[in-house]
Amino acid sequence: MSSATIAADSHADHDDHHGPAKGMKRWLFATNHKDIGTMYLVFSLAMFFVGGIMALVIRTELFAPGLQFIHPEFFNQMTTMHALIMVFGAVMPAFVGLANWMVPMMIGAPDMALPRMNNWSFWILPVAFSILASTLLMPGGAPASGWTMYPPLVLQTGDAFPFLIFSVHLLGISSIMGAINIIVTIINMRAPTMTLLAMPMFVWTWLITAYLLIAVMPVFAGAVTMLLTDRFFGTSFFLAAGGGDPVLFQHIFWFFGHPEVYIMILPAFGVVSEIIPTFSRKPLFGHDSMVYAAASIAFLSFIVWAHHMFTTGMPLTGQLFFMFTTMLIAVPTGVKIFNWIATMWRGAMSFETPMLFSLAFVFLFTIGGFSGLMLALVPADIQYHDSYFVVAHFHYVLVPGSVFTIMAGVYYWLPKWTGRMYDEKLGKVHFWLSTIFVNLTFFPMHFLGLAGMPRRIPDYSTQFADFNMYASIGAIGFGVSQLLFVYIIVQNVRGSGVTATAEVWEMPRGLEWTVPSPAPYHTFAEPPEVGGDKAFS
Amino acid sequence: MIRKIWFGVVALLAAGAASADLAVNMPKGVTELSAETYALHMEVFYWCCAIAFVVFGVMIYSLVKHRKAAGHKPANFTHSTTAEIVWTLIPVVILLIMAVPSAETLIKLEDSRKPDLTLVITAYQWKWHYDYKGEDVSFYSSLARTSADARRKGSGIDPFTVENYLLEVDNRVVLPKGAKVRVLVTSNDVIHAWWVPELAMKKDAIPGFMNEMWFRADVTGIYRGQCAELCGVDHGYMPIVVEIVEPEEYQSWLADQKADAS
């Protein structure tokens, strides 16, 4: 602790001749992990609104049966773009932004290991998404085959097709570079006294996530490249007429796609594992078993992919294998949930906004986990598959799952970033509005799916009208509530709110709380001393 | 305040559910396997409810009791090997209990041997083609005119006035009650999926592949479904209607079809 304070102090004067560059240069040529983290987070928030508006277009059309506002082709473009933007533009960059900001500070490193690559991996993103968004203006419109891009349908895409593939390649490059950077930083730049198992959970989950990214993004790139050559260079990887196999694409895609969904949830586990101990005033329960559980989930993610494909006609043994492995995921996931509850148990809890979002995460992610377990059972999955039940399931794990923890993380660390407390009252209002509307949006979708409504349809039979109306009201409410989130952040950044202490919260654990708030531009030029007793875990 | 909002939301949902007599659950269906699937679905649902009751119960108890505001002093424990073993083993046991019946049902689902008749389905963008194997009866089945007119943007037709909006076809599939029907499904263009919830059958129609499923309907009636795999712009407009009739009625329908064709 003392040496950390000294390290931070010695930085204060260092800052004078080594501060941020002025104007646009600071951002364009950014190599500072905090600046790049900020850019990632701002970009992700912008994409969250772009993708959100697309979701509202979808929900507005689905408010009542019959086509009122848009045509089916545009509806399909919206579902496709909404998913691509939310997955690759909002959720993933938000976690990379949190990692950029927090990982170096949590492990006592001065910066990310590869700062220039860090700059590049960020600046690829706006380019990639500009390319993707530009397809909306092209003849034939944006891609409309779903974010899963199943051939042969995706090969019917208009002029947008090569742009779609190219933007996916760029996103892959960005993710791989980001992942390499995080791995190298964590492995090489930890404070020398911090052992691997003493690392905070957020660092651990990101380390595992980064390995998943490196393992699967090239697979994804390969799959879409095969689509490209099928379309333009006369190959028939996925075309039955040429001896190819359309299902092969689905195997390759989901070999990427299933680890991908854990890429979006493991860092969320990390964020929650930081927040719940702080507001329970009690150390994280079972730190090591949490690490092993996260690693088990990551391993299992590689051998469950075909549970997305139970209706494609697999051999019985294949279906049994993927059913059993999928069910197995419930065990390490359960361990995580139980550990969080054991962390709260006999603590002294208080309910600031980050804690509220984390608690909602534990509740609602568990509900998403339950529907996940139901989906694992093949005979039942045959009924659920491609229905709104699946839409409900993955939105429960992604919105009150990943998105809520991103918000929790922002509220938790914002005082560290800006040096001022956010408006707690407004934060709580934001939380309650978000929680009520997210449930109003996605809970009725379970019923719709069970009653037989397929997903990705622009219009539906009249028996589905009521629940669709509730979902649409919820979606609009959720969307509008997020303006409050922006307002709270802008107010905070512009300088309102009481000054935060270095610790910000009551006795939080972690090196990030040993540096002043706001965190100086450069932190930990000299590595801090960390006790071997996991004082910081 | 918050509590009031919650009550409002719950009341709204309850009122809506009561007034519209909404379907909120999977249909039990009309085949042995659809009933088994339904039972499996309910069993895993009840397990989830039980787990939720215990887990959320403990969590809510903790949230109420172990608050700083209630003056609770934090404990400092971080491990309990016993607890960790228990909450690893209990889920494993529950999973095993669930795995056995689902594997049994799955094995039955895959056993399409010795069918009484075979129906070959070919999917097109955006209609179905049905071929009664060995019977020389085949036809296309598309969205019914009434729905097709109403579904256009700005048609001026209220969907609520259209009977079975988007779930009616021009030519229904007619099949006999009690017969084991093997369904072979493929596609002529992109991937589609043939799904009728009450028969508990969904299989992808994939170009170059011949997929297989089967059912034996025990109750006569009209059962509706839709294409379940995104297949392009009119994905939402290729419904499926299966009419299960008495075997004699099926035979006379078949004879009529053949007479019409010749």
Query: What residues of A are in contact with residue B2 (Cβ under 8 Å)?
Result: 432
ipTM of the shown complex: 0.91
Residues 179-218 of B with CB under 8 A from A: 189-191, 193, 195, 197, 200-204, 206-209, 211-212
d(CA A443, CA A446) in angstroms, rounded, equals 6
Q: How far apart are CA A402 and CA B72, in angstroms?
A: 31
Mean pLDDT within A287-300: 95
Mutation target to probe the A interface, by most A beta carbons within 10 A, among B3, B36, B95 is B95
Query: From CA B122, how far away is CA B141, in angstroms rounded?
Result: 10
Judge whether A333 counts as a catalytic residue: yes
**Cβ separation A338–B55 shorter than 8 A:** yes
Task: Flag if B76 and A283 touch (Cβ within 8 Å).
Answer: yes
**Is residue B148 exposed (0-12), middle (13-18) or buried (19+ Cβ within 10 Å)?**
middle
Determine the average pLDDT of the residues in A301-326: 96
| Nearest residue on chain A to B107, alpha-carbon basis | A316
For the stretch A61-93, pLDDT in tens is 999 999 999 999 999 999 999 999 999 999 999
Residues of chain A in contact with residue B106, where contact means CB-CB under 8 angstroms, are 316, 319-320, 323, 378-379
* pLDDT at residue B6 in the model: 57
Q: Out of B40, B88, B229, name the one closest to residue A379 (CB).
A: B40
Mean pLDDT of chain B: 91
A1-59: per-residue pLDDT in tens? 344 444 444 444 444 456 788 888 899 999 999 999 999 999 999 999 999 999 999 99
Please report the pLDDT score of residue A174 as a whole number. 96
More confident residue, B117 or A534: B117
Q: Is A147 a catalytic residue?
A: yes
DSSP A31: -
What separation, in Å, do the N-terminal and C-terminal C-alpha atoms of chain B show? 73
pLDDT attached to residue A22: 83
pLDDT at A17: 52
Helices A115-134 and A160-188, axial angle in degrees (round to 10)? 160
pLDDT in tens, A338-391: 999 999 999 999 999 999 999 999 999 999 999 999 999 999 999 999 999 999
Q: Is A379 on the interface with B (CB under 8 A)?
A: yes
Active site residue A262: yes
User: Which residue, among A227, A217, A218, A221, has the nearest Cα to A248 in the 3D structure?
Assistant: A227
Q: What angle do CA A440, A446, A447 make, to 5 degrees?
A: 95
Q: Is A307 a catalytic residue?
A: yes
Indicate if the pLDDT at residue A510 is higher than 70: yes
Q: What is the pLDDT of residue A9?
A: 46
Contacts of A344 in chain B (CB under 8 A): 59, 62-63, 66
According to the model, what pLDDT value does residue B9 have? Answer: 56
Q: Which is higher by pLDDT, B156 or B17?
A: B156
Q: Is the pLDDT of residue B10 over 90?
A: no
Per residue in A481-505, is it b (16+ CB within 10 Å) or e — as a string?
Answer: bbebbeebbeebeeeebeebebebb
In chain A, which among 35-74 make CB contacts under 8 A with chain B? 65-73
pLDDT on residue B4: 56
Segment B8-28 shows an average pLDDT of 64
Q: Which of A333, A387, A418, A481 is catalytic?
A: A333
Model pTM above 0.90: yes
Q: Tell me what pLDDT residue A13 has.
A: 47
pLDDT of residue B73: 87
Q: Give the model's pLDDT for residue A64.
A: 94
Indicate yes or no: CB of B197 within 8 angstroms of CB of A452: yes
Nearest to B233 among A72, A320, A345 (CB): A72
pLDDT at B46 over 70: yes
Mean pLDDT of chain A: 93
**Mutation choice for A interface testing from B19, B37, B84, B235 by most A CBs within 10 A:** B235
- How far, in whole angstroms, is CA B258 from its chain's centroid? 33
CB-based contact, A85 to chain B, within 8 Å: no
Asked if the model's pLDDT at residue A332 lies above 60, the reply is: yes
B contacts of A276 (beta carbons < 8 Å): none
Residues on chain A touching B226 (C-beta within 8 angstroms): 452, 454, 457
Quick check: B22 and A463 CB within 8 A?
A: yes
pLDDT digits (tens, 9 = 90+) for A200-256: 999 999 999 999 999 999 999 999 999 999 999 999 999 999 999 999 999 999 999
- Using one digit for the tens of pLDDT, what is the confidence trace for A153-166? 999 999 999 999 99
Q: Among A262-266, B15-19, B164-168, where is mean pLDDT lowest?
A: B15-19
pLDDT for A7 equals: 45
pLDDT category of residue B63 using cuts at 50, 70 and 90: very high
Contact A331 B22 (CB under 8 A): no
Which is the catalytic residue, given A262, A305, A340, A413? Answer: A262
pLDDT digit string (tens) for A438-465? Answer: 999 999 999 999 999 999 999 999 999 9
pLDDT in tens, B147-191: 999 999 988 899 999 999 999 999 999 999 999 999 999 999 999
Mind giving me the DSSP string for B172-235?
-EEEETT--EEEEEEESSS-EEEEEGGGTEEEEE-BT--EEEEE-B-S-EEEEEEE-S--STTG
Residue A175 is among the residues annotated as catalytic for this protein: yes
